[in-house]
Structure 1
Amino acid sequence: MLTVETFSLYIMIASLAPLLGAFTLLFLFIFEKRIDLLENQKREIALERELQTALYNQLNQEIQPHFFFNTLNSILSLARLDRKTELIQSIETLSKLLKFKYQTNNTFITVDEELTYVNYYLEIQKIRFRDRLHYEISIDPDVYEAITIPFLIQTFIENAFKHSFEKYIGEAFLKTTIKKKGKAVHITVWNSSPDSREELPHVSGLGLENITKRLDLLFPTGQTSVQLINSDDGSSVLAIFPFVLKSEI
């Protein structure tokens, strides 16, 4: 037979159990949020570290001495020919290119911002290669405000010059295609010359390895890939990553 004291204890336990359960759930919820916050902070730190690596590669490799000096020689030739309008435009473009490169320090930017820099670079290369170079950029309107990592398209295009156009004579054709397919962004940079790297179709080179790492860090739950392929009509590189608008971040 239950005593009054035992019955009272049972009543107290029954009353406190829901409260204890609620406090336990609240603690677990807060703990889970804290874990998510730490994971996000860890991913952001890793992204910033990889971005610094990309910036270092850009400043020390992509703006290579031969590119810089060839550009200056091209600009000097415009001065000697007294082509003042083109000379001024060339100097302004080179200034914008260098300014963008040194000021880019975000872990992600929009595709539109990336293309701004790409166009500066291509304008400079057009001065160097003149009528030999033909290029076009095709983009779905929906993709302009999608986020990407800095220097993704730029690295692909610079590799086309470094590993193809500067090693083979003749006309140079470059085509950049940016499309939204389902819930993913597909960026393809194709050029008309074979790539000189023997590791194809595997991803090779510090620049492409860095891109792969940063895409995985920026989109940890999404499908990302970078593929480098040689074909009979040239070579191309394809990057795939989730479609995420900047306004959704």
Structure 2
Amino acid sequence: MYQKLRELWLSTTLKHKLSLYTAMVILIMASSAVFNVWVMDFTLDGFDKILSDNSRCNDFQQAMELEIDAFESYVRERTEEHWEEYILSCVRTERCIRALPFQYSSIGEERYARTWNIKNSYEAYSVFREQILKMNEEESGYITSLYRVYDMQDYLKDYARRLVQVTLSKGNETYQRQVPVFYNIPYLILAVSLCLTVMAIVLTRLLSNTLIQPVVKLAHNSRKIARNDFSGEDLAVPNRDEMGELVAAFNKMKHATEGYINTLKKNNEMAGLLHGEELERMEMEKQLESAKLELLKSQINPHFLFNTLNMIGCMAKLEDAATTEKMIYSMSNLFRYNLKTSEQFVALNQELKVVQDYVYIQQMRFGSRIRYDSDIQVNGGQVIIPAFTLQPIVENAVIHGLSKKEQGGRLYLRIWQKENCVIISVADTGVGMTQEQLESLKEGLKERRSAKVGIGLGNIYKRIHILYEKGEMNIWSRRGCGTVVQMVIPLERVDETETVTKKADEEKTGRKEIRKKEPDSENTDTGEADEKTAGQIGRKTEAESRKETS
């Protein structure tokens, strides 16, 4: 039987289940309401009957007493007011007599006899009372008749008192018989409430097992699928209603979604591989185009440019134009270094020679506005640094710092060793930068944006951080004071003899056996201050810029 009912419940549609559940809930609520009404009616009916009988008997006793008082007042003083009061009291008494319970089956033998005596006695009393009131006080027999009325009133009062006593006694007996029932009513209410509560819980649990729990399981698995977690077994519910169909459809959707996502992952992986191959192909095409451009550039023979400059230098020598000759040789050295240096790393001396040639040319251009000083505390032939490192920074100091300052300034190059690193500092007393410009420059260097920092400075910053794990490049600047660029490069050394020999071979190739002693760097300063003063200003600029940044 239970199995059949269970199968019937599982196969019932959700609509019918909800309808049945609603009907059962309404039935439980209605049963509870009917039971409560019955308990209240039973309780109140017993008390109401006792209280009602007591009240009616008491009302008759009081009405009789009031009528007697009104009769005496009217007999003593026959006024209109006393007459009205007497009539009202009589009407009240008659109404109370009619209201007295007079059913033998419900009030019992004794109360019925008392009530019957009262009704008959009052009827005879009323007739005799009216006759007395019609008599004149001076007539014979008036007094005798009056006292007879008083005696009849005393009898009625006595009947009323006995009726009240009997009614109270009967009511008390009835109450005592019902007291045990009243005491058991709370327990009965509790028992019925528990039964109805159990029924409600059973119905709720039954509905929860077939409706709520499957929905909770669906929500839980939906959250797992939202996290791309398709693990776990399929949902299984015994329902054969709409919920069972929904769970079956959800399981199918889960497998379909899992397969679709796996397919998308494989497609994304394949697309990533294809994209990587496409990038490699584009990079190869870019390198090929660059190689074609370099090949086109290399078609212009650099020796033609070098030989032409050397020939102009020879002509300047024949004409005793020493300054012109040195400028041409400096320019030739710059071209040769830029066009023929293919190594990624060079000796420090080569970079210093390029800086000297570049500063000499700029001093010839700006005259005493540019003053140069250097302090090299390392062996330049044994220290290796990335090629094209110093000249672009010195060029930035001249173009963006010193040339924009009307009175010019000093350029100070200082190189020293600290632990296992070579520190290169290029300081100038030019126009400097504001704090906003400096922060924008640093941000552009970190984000590798050439538009903000320029190709030369950005390329040096990038190469230092790529080639050296501990390499650094710092910039300090103050508006109106100057700028300091400092590079920290891990120390690498080569054989000094090998470096010097290589440098000599390069110079020999480019000059066609023209030998001339180059001017010392000390003579490149054409300014007003001496070498010592320039060095002090350069160091002061570097120190002030560091202090401002911190």
Secondary structure of the residue aligned to 1:137 is strand
Aligned AA (1:164): G
Q: 1:205 aligns with which of 454, 466, 490?
A: 454
1 or 2 for the larger relative contact order (CA 8 Å, sep ≥6)?
1
Aligned to 1:223: 470
Aligned to 2:416: 179
Q: Is the 8 A contact 2:464 2:471 kept in 1?
A: yes
**TM-score (normalised: structure 1):** 0.61
How far apart in 1 are the matches of 2:355 and 2:465? 23
Q: Quickly say closer, same or farther: Cα 1:142–1:85, change in 2 above 3 A.
A: closer
Aligned-residue offset at 1:93: 1.6
Aligned AA (1:140): Q
Q: Which runs of 4+ in 1 moved over 6 A?
A: none
Structure 2 residue ranges without an equivalent (≥5): 1-286, 295-315, 446-452, 497-550
Aligned-residue offset at 1:165: 1.8
Aligned to 1:74: none
Q: Quickly say closer, same or farther: Cα 1:238–1:167, change in 2 above 3 A.
A: same
Q: 1:237 aligns with which of 458, 476, 485?
A: 485
Aligned-residue offset at 1:196: 5.0
The RMSD of aligned alpha carbons is 2.7
Aligned AA (1:170): Q
- Report the identity percentage: 27
How far apart in 1 are the matches of 2:350 and 2:343? 11
Aligned-residue offset at 1:109: 0.5
Q: Is the 8 A contact 1:143 1:178 kept in 2?
A: no
CA offset digits 1:79-131 (Å, max 9, x no partner): 9xx87121222222212221211111111101111111111111111111112
Aligned to 1:33: none
Q: Is the 8 A contact 1:132 1:170 kept in 2?
A: yes
How far apart in 2 are the matches of 1:186 and 1:194? 24
How far apart in 2 are the matches of 1:116 and 1:195? 26
Q: Quickly say closer, same or farther: Cα 1:131–1:146, change in 2 above 3 A.
A: same
Q: Figure out how many residues of one structure are paired with residues of the other and give that number.
A: 170
How far apart in 2 are the matches of 1:205 and 1:195? 16
Aligned to 1:131: 368
Aligned to 1:36: none
Aligned-residue offset at 1:141: 2.9
Instruction: Output aligned runs, 1:20-35, within 5 Å.
Output: none
Q: Is the 8 A contact 2:429 2:483 kept in 1?
A: yes
CA offset digits 1:120-159 (Å, max 9, x no partner): 1111111111122110111113454211111111111000
Secondary structure of the residue aligned to 1:102 is helix
Does 2:343 correspond to 1:117?
Answer: no
**TM-score (normalised: structure 2):** 0.29
Aligned-residue offset at 1:205: 2.8
CA offset digits 1:163-191 (Å, max 9, x no partner): 11222210320000011011111111000
CA offset digits 1:41-90 (Å, max 9, x no partner): xxxxxxxx9xx9xxx9xxxxxxxxxxxxxxxxxxxxxx9xx871212222
Instruction: Output aligned runs, 1:1-249, within 5 Å.
Output: 84-196=321-433, 199-201=437-439, 202=442, 203=445, 204-219=453-468, 222-231=469-478, 233-247=481-495
Aligned-residue offset at 1:199: 3.4
Aligned AA (1:152): T
Q: Quickly say closer, same or farther: Cα 1:246–1:217, change in 2 above 3 A.
A: farther
Bigger Cα Rg: 2
How far apart in 2 are the matches of 1:103 and 1:167? 32
Aligned AA (1:237): V
Q: Is the 8 A contact 1:178 1:187 kept in 2?
A: yes
Secondary structure of the residue aligned to 2:343 is coil
Q: Is the 8 A contact 1:175 1:189 kept in 2?
A: yes
How far apart in 1 are the matches of 2:430 and 2:397? 8
How far apart in 1 are the matches of 2:331 and 2:401? 23
When you count helix as a share of all residues, which structure comes out higher? 2
CA offset digits 1:210-231 (Å, max 9, x no partner): 1122123322xx3111112113
Q: Is the 8 A contact 1:140 1:179 kept in 2?
A: yes
How far apart in 1 are the matches of 2:482 and 2:462? 26
How far apart in 2 are the matches of 1:241 and 1:88? 36
Aligned to 2:50: none
How far apart in 2 are the matches of 1:113 and 1:127? 22
Q: Is the 8 A contact 2:433 2:477 kept in 1?
A: no
How far apart in 2 are the matches of 1:194 and 1:167? 7
How far apart in 1 are the matches of 2:366 and 2:472? 31
Structure 1 residue ranges without an equivalent (≥5): 1-48, 57-78
Q: Is the 8 A contact 2:433 2:482 kept in 1?
A: no
